Amino acid sequence: MTTPQQANLLVSFMLNHILAALLLAAILGGISVLVYAQFHKDSFDLRFLVTDPQTKQPSVHQLGQITALIISSWGFIVLVLHGQLTEVYFTTYMVAWAGANALNSFLNKRGDQESAREPDRGLDNHGNQ
């Protein structure tokens, strides 16, 4: 016969595994949708996740963004599964993403304004003609 503590432990164990299985199913489903779109839609390309939209070249910033999204989202999910998500973690998570996007937008606009002010003297990036 099981004690109430053993029953609670068993229920907790099963719930954690059910949640982990649902998370795995969601991840696999998301990956399958991306793969389907990659091979069946002409306008969709997974390389857009790691390339600069203006230069079409691989971008360290874009790669860093997608990597940070994956890692921080996984940490967020682990905190939720263990019941340790606090308002501080949630707020920090949201501020970090909103702040990074706002800073990126600001820097892009500032760079566009500075390049519009500089006259084109026919020089390359190293000052050579």
Beta-bridged to residue 58, according to DSSP, are 51
* Domain that residue 2 falls in: 1-44
For residues 64 and 40, membership in a common domain is answered with: no
Residue 90 domain-assigned (yes or no): yes
For residues 19 and 72, membership in a common domain is answered with: no
- Per-residue pLDDT tens for 39-56? 887 777 777 777 887 888
- Do the Cβ atoms of 59 and 52 come closer than 8 Å? yes
Q: What is the DSSP string of the chain?
A: ---HHHHHHHHHHHHHHHHHHHHHHHHHHHHHHHHHHHHH-TT--GGGGTB-TTT-SB-HHHHHHHHHHHHHHHHHHHHHHTT---HHHHHHHHHHHHHHHHHHHHHHHHHHHHHHHS---S--TTS--
Q: How far apart are CA 107 and CA 82, in angstroms?
A: 38
Residue 126 domain-assigned (yes or no): no
Q: State CA 111 to chain mean position distance.
A: 24
For residues 1 and 58, membership in a common domain is answered with: no
Residue 98 domain-assigned (yes or no): yes
pTM of the full predicted structure?
Answer: 0.52
Q: How far apart are CA 115 and CA 109, in angstroms?
A: 10
Q: How far apart are CA 38 and CA 47, in angstroms?
A: 10
Residue 121 domain-assigned (yes or no): no
- Per-residue pLDDT tens for 54-113? 888 888 877 887 888 888 888 888 888 788 888 888 888 888 878 877 887 888 787 777
